[in-house]
């Protein structure tokens, strides 16, 4: 009989333990559009390590490379209602949500990586661009990169006139379409996952992308020439789903923002290192002829594409464009 109160108390204590709240681990879905091992993927892995460490495992970052959750635009749309939580999205694609981001895609705007980083990391230009994303349901955190774009084609491109009549694959971006139409080419938007087949089957003759992308996606296998032009910069904005981010406490928000910036700095370094190695691999493979454009050729292309700046000034914002020009001029 004396055991009865003890047993009752023991069972009550066990019930209390069983029903006590357990801290749940939150799954964070991180999208990107390149294969595992790419600079973007390694940047994502760095972000994952930082966040999981600083939250003591409370956030489990799950990375979905190679468009596993859909393409960039689809992922961005999912982010607007919190189904995907973070992603580095190319600014050309995000410009369909926020036209001012077309600034980054202007041809021959940035003279070097160092100047590019200074402008994009500045409060007056990069900070303003990231802040404007909030109106579209995103929390802008930092700028990552794929690097400077190069031209590939099935004919040697030596002057702007050589583009007349050529079919060029571009991203779904009004500015990029105008950039090549200005040269007399037919600019054709094609989904990233379909570019290799489109080149292989002759749907398009040419395309533009950074060296890393040209190599990892094997575009060089189905192109006769690769022209090193550095004619544009392909940046990505690392964004969070705003509805998801806003639900976090201030400490967690700081961890996420700091991780995006720190991983972005790491990703830029890896991107530059990979570009050098992957260019050598393309040359060694030998299926495409790699040609470095001369300063005179680059000047002629820059002059031919210059009207794009004026054409899109109002859409980008004259004040923002002026701030970018000022940052660039004081950085050289």
Give CA–CA dist 264/44, Å, rounded.
9
Cα distances (angstroms) measured from residue 133 to each of 81, 123, 244: 14, 14, 14
Q: pLDDT value at position 244?
A: 98
Largest Cα–Cα separation, the chain: 102
Model-level pTM greater than 0.85? Answer: yes
The pLDDT of 202-212, averaged and rounded, is 97
Other beta carbons within 10 Å of 148: 19
pLDDT tens for residues 108-139?
Answer: 999 999 999 999 999 999 999 999 999 999 99
The pLDDT of 243-247, averaged and rounded, is 98
- Does residue 14 have a pLDDT over 70? no
215 forms beta bridges with: none
82 conformational bin, left if phi > 0, alpha if psi -120 to 50, beta if neither: left
152 forms beta bridges with: 207, 226
Contact indicator for 304, 182 with CB cutoff of 8 Å:
yes
Cα distances (angstroms) measured from residue 91 to each of 48, 95, 116: 22, 6, 14
Q: pLDDT value at position 200?
A: 97
SS3 of residue 137 by DSSP? coil
Sign of CA dihedral 149, 150, 154, 157: positive
pLDDT tens for residues 279-327?
Answer: 999 999 999 999 999 999 999 999 999 999 999 999 999 999 999 999 9
pLDDT band at 23; cut points 50, 70, 90: low
pLDDT tens for residues 55-81?
Answer: 999 999 999 999 999 999 999 999 999
The pLDDT of 225-229, averaged and rounded, is 98
Percent of the chain with pLDDT over 90: 92
Domains of the chain: 25-331 (3.40.190.170)
Give CA–CA dist 63/82, Å, rounded.
16
Q: Are strands 59-64 and 86-90 parallel, antiparallel or unpaired?
A: unpaired
Look-up of token digits 């400490």: 251
């Amino acid at each position: 009989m004396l055991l009865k109160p003890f047993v009752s108390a023991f069972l009550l204590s066990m019930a209390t333990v069983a029903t006590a709240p357990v801290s749940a681990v939150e799954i964070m879905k991180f999208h990107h559009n390149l294969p595992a091992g790419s600079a973007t993927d390694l940047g994502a892995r760095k972000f994952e390590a930082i966040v999981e460490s600083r939250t003591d495992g409370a956030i489990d970052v799950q990375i979905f490379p190679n468009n596993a959750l859909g393409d960039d635009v689809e992922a961005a749309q999912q982010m607007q209602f919190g189904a995907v939580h973070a992603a580095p999205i190319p600014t050309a694609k995000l410009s369909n949500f926020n036209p001012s981001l077309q600034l980054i895609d202007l041809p021959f705007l940035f003279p070097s990586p160092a100047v590019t980083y200074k402008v994009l990391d500045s409060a007056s230009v990069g900070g303003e661009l990231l802040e404007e994303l909030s109106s579209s349901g995103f929390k802008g955190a930092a700028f990552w990169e794929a690097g400077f774009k190069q031209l590939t084609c099935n004919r040697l491109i030596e002057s702007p006139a050589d583009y007349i009549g050529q079919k060029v694959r571009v991203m779904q971006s009004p500015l990029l379409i105008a950039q090549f139409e200005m040269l007399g080419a037919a600019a054709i938007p094609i989904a990233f996952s379909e570019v290799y087949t489109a080149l292989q089957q002759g749907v398009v003759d040419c395309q533009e992308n950074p060296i890393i992308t040209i190599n990892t996606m094997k575009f060089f296998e189905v192109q006769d020439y690769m022209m090193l032009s550095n004619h544009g910069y392909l940046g990505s904005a690392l964004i969070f789903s705003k509805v998801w981010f806003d639900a976090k406490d201030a400490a967690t928000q700081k961890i996420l923002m700091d991780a995006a910036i720190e991983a972005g700095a790491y990703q830029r370094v890896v991107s530059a290192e990979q570009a050098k190695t992957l260019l050598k691999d393309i040359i060694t493979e030998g299926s495409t002829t790699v040609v470095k454009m001369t300063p005179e050729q680059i000047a002629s292309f820059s002059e031919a594409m210059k009207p794009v700046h004026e054409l899109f000034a109002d859409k980008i914002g004259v004040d923002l464009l002026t701030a970018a020009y000022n940052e660039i001029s004081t950085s050289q």
